Structure 1
Amino acid sequence: MKNILLVEDQGIVRQGLKMMIEQDKTLNVSAEAENGLQAINQMQSHAIDVIIMDIRMPEMNGLEATRIIKKQWPLVKILILTTFNDDEYALQALKEGANGFLLKTSQGEKLIQSIHSCLKGGMSLQDEVAAKVVPKLLSHQKDPQQIPPLTERELSITQLVGKGRTNKEIAGELHLSIGTVKNHLTQILQKLELRDRTQLAIYAVKNDIA
C-alpha cells in the first residue's frame, strides 16, 4: 500500500480526489493539506510516498512547497495537479523537482496511471503541457564545453532516462541489473551535479541526449 498526501485548498476537490484515488486498492490517501505549509507539517508526521500538489494555494504555493519538500525528503514523489495550463508553471515545477505535471481536466484513469508512473521513477506530463514545454527545453542548445564527460554506458542510461524509462526498463534494455543501473545513476547525478532523475531527464532533453 502506497501512502498519498493530497495538497489542495478546496475541500470538495480533495474529497473527490480521495475517492478517485482510493478506487485503486494499492493507494491510500493517508494525509491532506490545504496549502504548502500544512503539507510540510504533514510530511513531518506521516510516511508519504507520493504528494498530489496544487500550485495556487494560500500561505504557501505548490512550487515553493515542492522546492522545500524535495530538499528535505528527496525520495518522495510529487505530482503537480492544477487547473493552470501554463508552460512557465510546468517548467518551474520540474526545475524544483516535481515528478509530473497534470491538469485537473484529466480523467481519473490518467491520474492513477501517473501516480504509478511516478512511483516507478517515471515522469508524467500532460500532453497539452508537454507540447509547449518540450520545445522550450529543446530550444536551449547544448554547449559541449559545459557537459562533464560521461562514459558510453552513462550516456546510454541518461538517454533512456530522458525518454522516461524506469530503472527496470533501463535494466532490461541494457541487459543490466537494477542495482547496477541505480549505481550508474548515482554516479551520473554526482558528475552533473543534479538532484534527481527528473532533473536528469530535463538535462537529457536540453542537451539533445534523449
Structure 2
Amino acid sequence: MSLNKSASRYMVAIADDHRLVAESLSHLINDIPGFEVILIGSNGKVLLDKLANSPTLPDIAILDINMPEMNGVATARQLSETYPNIRLLALSMNDDETSVIQMIRSGCRGYLLKDCTQSELQRAMTEILERGFYYSDFVTGKLIHTIHKEEKNPDQLVRLTEREMEFLKYAASEMTYKEIANSMKLSERTIDGYREALFEKLQVKSRVGLVLFAIRAGWVKADRT
C-alpha cells in the first residue's frame, strides 16, 4: 500500500455532519504525533468533492454513519471504489449490530464508538494503516483480522451444509432472525439451532462475526455499489 506520509506524518480526512464534533476530532488528531487532518467534510458528498480537488490524498478517512445527503455507508462504498488506497475507519454513536455490519461490508477496516479515548483512536488509526485492520473487543478483532489476512481460504477448513450456507447468506443481510425463519420456512427455534451451530463451526460469538467470516470466505460479497 502506498501511503502519503510527509515528514513522518499520516494524512487524515474526516466526514461528520456535526461541525463541533468534526472540529474537536480534528484538534484531537492533530495533537497525536504523526497525524495531520487535511480535509473535513460535512457529509460524504462534500468529502468526495474535496478529495477530487485535493493535490494530496489522505491515508485514512474517518467516517460518521448518520449524515445528510450521503451517509457513511454510501461514502465508504464510494471511497472504496474510487480511492482503494485510502483506509477507512467508522466512528459513530451507533453501537448496534446492523451499523457495524453495514460499515464493515462497505469497506471500513475498523469501527469505533464516539466515546472512545484519544489513545484508542490513535491505536485504531495506526493499526489500520500499518496492519490493515483494527481489532477491538467491540467488533471482535480476531474476526477483522480473519477478513483481511491473505492466508488460507476458510472454505478449505470449514464445510457447511446447503441450509447452513443459506442461513449464513440471510444472516449477512439486514433481515431479523424471525424474517429469516419465514424465508427459510423454518421455526425460529430451528434458526436458533443453525446460528449456534455456525457459531461453533466458525468459532465466532456474534452475528457480526458470522458476516465477517462469510465475507472473508467469499461466501458473501462486501457491498461496493
**What is the number of equivalent residue pairs in this alignment?**
150
The separation in 2 between residues aligned to 1:95 and 1:143, in whole angstroms, is 23
Report what 1:90 is aligned to: 100
The separation in 2 between residues aligned to 1:143 and 1:51, in whole angstroms, is 37
3-state DSSP class of the match of 1:25? coil
Task: Rate the CA distance shift 1:57–1:144 in 2: closer, same or farther, 3 A.
Answer: same
- Report the residue type matching 2:115 in the other structure: T
Report what 1:13 is aligned to: 21
Offset of 1:206 from its aligned partner?
Answer: 8.1
Q: As a proportion of its length, which structure holds more helix? A: 1
The separation in 1 between residues aligned to 2:124 and 2:95, in whole angstroms, is 17
**Match among 110, 121, 133 for residue 120 of structure 2:** 110
**Match among 131, 137, 144 for residue 121 of structure 1:** 131
The separation in 1 between residues aligned to 2:71 and 2:140, in whole angstroms, is 22
- Report the TM-score when normalising by structure 1: 0.63
Unaligned runs of 5+ in 2: 1-8, 148-154, 163-211, 221-225
Report what 2:49 is aligned to: 41
Report what 1:158 is aligned to: none
Larger gyration radius, structure 1 or structure 2: 2
Offset of 1:105 from its aligned partner?
Answer: 1.1
- Report the TM-score when normalising by structure 2: 0.59
Offset of 1:55 from its aligned partner?
Answer: 0.2
Offset of 1:20 from its aligned partner?
Answer: 0.9
Q: Which moved more, 1:51-60 or 1:15-24?
A: 15-24
Report what 1:54 is aligned to: 64
3-state DSSP class of the match of 1:28? strand
Q: What root-mean-square deviation, in Å, do the aligned CA atoms of Structure 1 and Structure 2 show? A: 3.2
Report what 1:70 is aligned to: 80
Offset of 1:94 from its aligned partner?
Answer: 1.1
- Report the residue type matching 1:103 in the other structure: L
Deviations 1:92-134 (A, max 9, x none): 1111111111000111110011011111133224423439x88
